[in-house]
Amino acid sequence: MNKDLGTIITAMVTDENEEALFVQKNGITYRLEKEDVPEELSIGDVASGFVYETMNKDLKMTTKIPKVRIGHYGWGEVINVRRDLGVFVDIGLGDKDIVVSLDRMPELKSLWPKKGDRLMVTLSVDEKDRMWGELADEDLFRSISRIPSEQDWKNKDVTGIVYRLKMVGTFILTDDYYIGFIHPTEREVEPRLGEVVNARVIGVSPHGMLNLSLKPRAHEALEGDAKMILALLEKSPTASLPYTDKSDPDDIRNYFGISKAQFKRAMGRLLKNRLIIQEDGETRLIEKE
């Protein structure tokens, strides 16, 4: 087993050709492209770089050190998915993609990452010198995350990457390195592992996490007529309008420009979202805390 794979080593230059240098350590030779070397090296000099095995089984060294290596974690972009093998992740090596085994993937195939998603990974090397991607665990995410301050988080928008899927809900790491939690009741569809999601903060938990929702705000879920009526109510000095479901159809058409049937459907949406009340012949906005 080659214990140097996936790490940074220092090796001696033992040979060269027009395109590459060949460096050696512990009797193992690695190819180092000359275009990769910032300074001219000769036989007998030493070079440092990251060593790995390419997709073609060639041993190589590169001075372009990837963040992802043994003992070091970093984000890798998913570039391909094979249901019989796992997920291929780009960590910055031009001729090598790292596979995260299907054994590390969710049981439901619909929750596997897709091309363009991102995973926090490190490297491992098995007894056959094959490099694998290993997903970061909960302890790692906890160690790099921040604790929310006392600021008013309510209703703020955040973006983050899904890193853990559990029965109790979905965990994400936000762009600002806060851990967010999405309860199943706060999503229409369960996000997949590695997916980038946009969410809004609905609270801060005692455990130092942001409680998030993927559901739209009430006014964002409204359609045309309901949005129009809501806008008129918000512009009204009294936050009210002298129209209800009982109003005359001609009065409704003259004021809103829509039929009474359209008006009633729109009012139904606003009532369902608890944005308005109807009483004393008026429709009024419900004051929010």
Q: Are 275 and 285 in contact (CB under 8 A)?
A: yes
Facing residues of 30 across strands? Answer: 23
pLDDT value of position 221: 53
pLDDT digits (tens, 9 = 90+) for 215-241: 876 555 557 788 888 888 888 899 999
Q: Which residues of the chain have pLDDT under 50?
A: 289
Q: Do domains 8-62 and 224-285 have the same CATH topology?
A: no
Domain range 224-285, its CATH number among 3.40.50.300, 3.90.550.10, 2.60.40.420, 1.10.10.10: 1.10.10.10
Compute CA distances 94 → 6, 28, 97, 259, whole Å.
Answer: 15, 22, 8, 62
Phi and psi at 149, nearest 5°, equal: -80, -175
Protein fold of 8-62: OB fold (Dihydrolipoamide Acetyltransferase, E2P) (2.40.50)
CB atoms within 10 A of CB 288: 7
What ranges do the domains of the chain cover?
8-62, 74-136, 146-213, 224-285
pLDDT value of position 73: 97
Domain 146-213 in CATH 2.40.50.140? The answer is yes
Read off the pTM.
Answer: 0.74
pLDDT value of position 212: 96
pLDDT digits (tens, 9 = 90+) for 169-178: 999 999 999 9
pLDDT value of position 220: 56
pLDDT value of position 173: 98
pLDDT value of position 289: 46
pLDDT value of position 288: 59
Protein fold of 74-136: OB fold (Dihydrolipoamide Acetyltransferase, E2P) (2.40.50)
